[in-house]
């Protein structure tokens, strides 16, 4: 049954444009005018920032992934996994793609990248909140490339394929993070903090696997609310298989496929760490504003749940070979 489901999802997985590019950071433009956001305090950023452009699943893909997860949970391998204390070390390769070798041109110091790996480990170990996961991260390499044509583009642009095919290293178990200037698609204004591929598309498109991260969404940058390293925690969650907590909204036909994350209608706007927010009052629980897979500020997102850990284990065992 599990093998049949795997064959089915390999054929059916498809993507629609995500609705996740909705959380916009308020910033100050070149002429001093506010650019972006729907509230909240101003920051030192220039231009509006959207949180995440990781694509959501369509209905058929979600249904098939849910069925596969159910089959997995009934299998011997899932029971063995739940009783295992194995830690999985994931090598991280950073590819810093710069317009020039200045900070404004996209250069990110080695110290920031080393700190970023430490932050991943604190988040995924449960040190900063929530439950611990079996994933640990190890800095495997820092690759710097000066290429103005590769430094700035929108998700899905031809340059993305060029960059990944030229620079990506390792296999399904290796996390490649491409750090550059991410533009909003289709002629929009503003920038995107990051986006990621999912584990279940690796077999079909191995050369495109990885995370794209804006060069200012790193520890110690001047980008208020998104400079504590938790943007990469969020995108790494996608890379390990997690969906957004607001997938399906309050009464959608599908969810984030995790049973212990309350329903959430939309990503939080304006307030980077709201209190007692309940956007789905007819469903149990308040909005999971502290979950790493929503859109609140870095200072607010501190936890994964047990259900998310189970879903990550399923994704990484089946699609990334972490066993």
What does the pLDDT read at residue 81?
A: 67
Compute the radius of gyration of the chain from its Cα atoms. 19
Please pick, among 23, 160, 235, 264, the residue that the annotation labels catalytic: 235
How many degrees, rounded to 5, is the angle at CA 54 between CA 48 and CA 60? 140
Which of 182, 191, 136 is closest to 159 using CA atoms? 182
Size (the chain), residues:
323
What does the pLDDT read at residue 179?
A: 98
CATH number for domain 2-241+303-319, candidates 2.60.120, 3.40.50, 1.25.40, 3.40.390: 3.40.390
For residue 184 the two structure tokens come to 């909003």
Q: What is the largest CA-CA distance in the chain?
A: 61
Tens of pLDDT along the chain (323 residues) come to 454 444 434 433 333 323 333 333 333 222 222 222 222 222 223 347 788 888 777 778 888 898 898 888 888 666 666 667 889 999 999 999 999 999 999 999 999 999 999 999 999 999 999 999 999 999 999 999 999 999 999 999 999 999 999 999 999 999 999 999 999 987 677 899 999 999 999 999 999 999 999 999 999 999 999 999 999 999 999 999 999 999 999 987 789 999 999 999 988 776 889 989 999 999 999 999 999 999 999 999 999 999 999 999 999 999 999 98
For residue 134 the two structure tokens come to 């079996």
What does the pLDDT read at residue 50?
A: 84
Domain boundaries, the chain: 2-241+303-319
What pTM did the predictor assign?
A: 0.86
CB 110 within 8 A of CB 142: yes
Helix (H, G, I), strand (E, B) or coil at 180: strand
CB 290 within 8 A of CB 129: yes
Active site residue 235: yes
What does the pLDDT read at residue 200?
A: 94
């Amino acid at each position: 049954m599990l093998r049949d489901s795997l064959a089915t999802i390999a054929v059916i997985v498809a993507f629609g444009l995500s609705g996740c590019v909705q959380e916009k950071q308020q910033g100050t433009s070149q002429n001093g005018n506010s650019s972006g956001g729907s509230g909240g305090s101003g920051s030192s950023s220039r231009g509006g920032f959207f949180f995440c452009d990781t694509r959501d699943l369509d209905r058929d893909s979600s249904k098939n992934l849910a069925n596969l997860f159910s089959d997995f949970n009934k299998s011997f391998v899932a029971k063995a996994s739940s009783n295992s204390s194995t830690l999985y070390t994931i090598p991280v390769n950073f590819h810093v793609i710069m317009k020039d070798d200045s900070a404004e041109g996209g250069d990110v110091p080695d110290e920031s990248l080393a700190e970023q790996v430490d932050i991943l480990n604190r988040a995924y170990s449960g040190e900063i909140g929530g439950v611990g996961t079996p994933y640990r991260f190890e800095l495997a390499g820092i690759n710097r490339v000066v290429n103005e044509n590769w430094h700035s583009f929108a998700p899905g642009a031809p340059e993305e394929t060029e960059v990944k095919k030229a620079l990506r290293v390792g296999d399904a178990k290796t996390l490649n993070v491409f750090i550059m200037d991410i533009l909003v698609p289709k002629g929009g204004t503003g920038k995107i903090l990051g986006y990621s591929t999912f584990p279940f598309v690796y077999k079909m498109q191995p050369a495109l696997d990885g995370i794209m991260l804006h060069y200012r969404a790193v520890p110690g940058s001047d980008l208020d609310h998104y400079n504590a390293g938790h943007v990469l925690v969020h995108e790494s969650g996608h890379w390990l298989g997690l969906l957004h907590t607001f997938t399906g909204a309050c009464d959608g036909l599908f969810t984030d496929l995790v049973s212990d994350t309350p329903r959430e209608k939309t990503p939080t706007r304006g307030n980077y760490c709201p209190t007692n927010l309940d956007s789905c009052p007819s469903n149990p629980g308040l909005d999971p504003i502290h979950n790493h897979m929503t859109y609140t500020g870095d200072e607010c997102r501190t936890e994964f749940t047990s259900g998310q850990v189970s879903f990550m284990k399923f994704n990484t065992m089946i699609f990334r070979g972490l066993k």
